[in-house]
Structure formats: C-alpha cells, structure tokens
Amino acid sequence: MENTVRNRSRPRLLGRGFKSDLFASTFAYGSTAVVRLGSSLILTRLLTPQAYGIFAILLTFVFTLEMLSDVGPAGLLIRHPRGNEVRFVHTIWTIRLLRSFLNFGILYLAAPLLASLYHAPALTGPCRLLALFFPLAGAESMSFILAQRNQ
C-alpha cells in the first residue's frame, strides 16, 4: 500500500507516458496555430487588401498542390520497422525531393493559367516565385522526423 502512495506522489518525467506525449503534441500544434494566427494578423496590417488577397490565393495554390501530392513519407519513416536504416532514410528523402521538384514544375508552368482563371496577370510572377518553396522544403533535413521516431 505504501509503494502505491509513493509512486503516485512522484512527479512523472516529461516525455514519459501517454499524458505527457499528448500534452507535448497538443502544445506544439497549439503553438503553431497561435503563430499562424499572429502572422496572419500582422500581414493584414502590413499589406493592402489587394496584396493580402493575392497572397491568400497563392497560398491556396501551394496548399492544394501540397495536399494532392502528399504520399506520407514522414508517417512511413516514423512507423516503418526499417526507419533507422540509413539506406531507407535516404530513399524517403529522395522521394520527398523528387516530389518537391515535380510540385515546383507544376506550379511554375501552371502560373499563367492560374493567373488567367482569376483575370489577374499580376499573379504569374509571385506564383512562380512561391513555387521555389517546394524545392527548399523538399531538401530539408530528415532529422526532425527521425527525432519524432526516436522520441
């Protein structure tokens, strides 16, 4: 009986158990949402309504293309039994990089078409510039995903 009381009174270490992992994940996603909200509020003050609308349209294109082409490499790397093998990690990274260059090409080539759909030729240049997001994101390190895998 004494052992159970003692165990209950001991503080749990961060990173141990379901509750602390749940808290850490919730805190991370909540913090990200707060930062996004804050950056949106700052952008509304810095940009004119027309520029903010163009920015929103561009981010919609990027988000849509990103979601349509997502093949789940991060989840695969986290959950796959071979996730710690160097060759497997390099293969996943290569798939992400190829996907990012494909997305870049699609958005870059489709920029004039997307601008004509909105009757706004001013969208072409910024859309092509924002397409550079894909190769930069695809070339990022796998260390964060591996850290999630290894906790």
Domain ranges for the chain = 1-46, 48-151
Residue 57 pLDDT > 50, yes or no?
A: yes
Which DSSP symbol is given to 139?
T
Average pLDDT over residues 78-87: 87
pLDDT of residue 16: 58
pLDDT (mean) for 39-59: 88
Say yes or no to pLDDT of 75 above 60. Answer: yes
- Give pLDDT, residue 7: 45
Q: What are phi and psi of 69, to 5 degrees?
A: -100, 0
Residues 99-105, mean pLDDT to the nearest whole number = 95
- State the pTM of this model: 0.71
Q: 49-68 vs 17-46: helix axis angle to the nearest 10?
A: 140
Residue 56: both structure tokens together: 């929103």
Question: Could you report the per-residue pLDDT of 106-145, keeping only the tens digit for each?
Answer: 999 999 999 999 898 888 999 999 999 999 998 888 888 8
Q: What's residue 18's pLDDT?
A: 61
**What are 8-41's pLDDT values in tens digits?**
444 445 445 666 777 777 888 889 899 999 988 9
The span from the CA of 67 to the CA of 55, in Å, is 18
Asked whether the predicted pLDDT for residue 6 surpasses 50, the reply is no
